[in-house]
Every structure is written in structure tokens, then in C-alpha cells.
Amino acid sequence: MPDNVVTAEKLQERLAANAFNAWMGLEILSLDEDSIEIGLKWREEMISNPKARWTHGGILGALVDVAADFMIAAKIGAPAPTVDMRVDYHRAATPGDLKAVGRIVRLGNTVSTASAEVFDAEGRLIASGRGVYLTAPPKS
């Protein structure tokens, strides 16, 4: 298989190479032409408010960023640094595994846009967002 072909296995290796992603227990659940699904293994340290037991918004934002970014990486064959990102929080995430679904909005020569939605174990929408990623080739 040529080096530039991006498979779920190659993306998983990239995902796990990042210590923060590994700590979040991120795993690529599926990858096709239109979307990527990434699972998050919930941990007690992800709690924002110990009394309410809600998952910290930063974890949800990071999951949006990773799902959008890795969908772009699947298309272009290389990591794409985040230029800008927006996250909307739709409901509190209680303890439990989460799933993010990333999709391409627009692939461009300089920057690209992707979106992601985060769902809880019951399939309820928890957060959604959109990111802009640098996809210009590196200058030599």
C-alpha cells in the first residue's frame, strides 16, 4: 500500500501518538469517504463540576477539534493545524463514553473547514462545532 493512502489504522497510530489524545482514550470507530467516527473513553478526571458530575467543556471542545481535524487528515494525508474553531454546547454531558462524528465542509488549497458533532451513549447531541484548518503545503 502506498504511503499516501490514509487508512483508519494509520490515523489511529497518529491519534495515539499524541499523549492528550491517548489520555482521552480516543479510538477511530469508523472512517468512510464522508465521515469519521471517534470514540472517547470517559474518565473520572474529565469531571468539571464534582457536585453536578458534568464533563468539562474543554474535553468536548477537544473532541470536536480532533474529529474535524482527523477527517481533513483522512482526505489530505497529513495533519492540519487548527487555525480557528467554534464549539456550541447543547446539553451537559454526564459521565459516560462519547462519540464524535467529523465531516468535511470545504477542502481548500490554503485552509479547509470541517464540522463535528458529539453524542452521548444514548445518541443525544451534546456539542457541535466547526474548525478551520491549515491545509497549505509546507514551504520548502
Per-residue pLDDT of 77-92, as tens digits, reads 888 999 999 999 999 9
Question: Which domains occur in the chain, in start order?
Answer: 8-134 (3.10.129.10)
The count of C-alpha atoms lying within 13 angstroms of the C-alpha of 139, restricted to the half-sphere facing its C-beta, is 1
Please say if the pLDDT value at position 5 is more than 80: no
- Please state, in angstroms and rounded to a whole number, the distance separating the CA atoms of residues 58 and 60: 5
Name which of 34, 35, 37 is nearest 26 in CA terms.
37
Residue 4 has pLDDT above 70, yes or no: no
Residue corresponding to grid cell 446539553: 91
How confident is the model over 111-123, as a mean pLDDT?
Answer: 97
The pLDDT tens digits for 126-136 are 999 999 999 99
Mean pLDDT of the chain: 93
Question: Whose CA is closest to 95, among 59, 61, 129?
Answer: 59
pLDDT for 139: 79
Q: According to the 3-state scheme, what is the secondary structure of 15-35?
A: HHHCHHHHHCCCEEEEECCCC
Residue 31 has pLDDT above 50, yes or no: yes
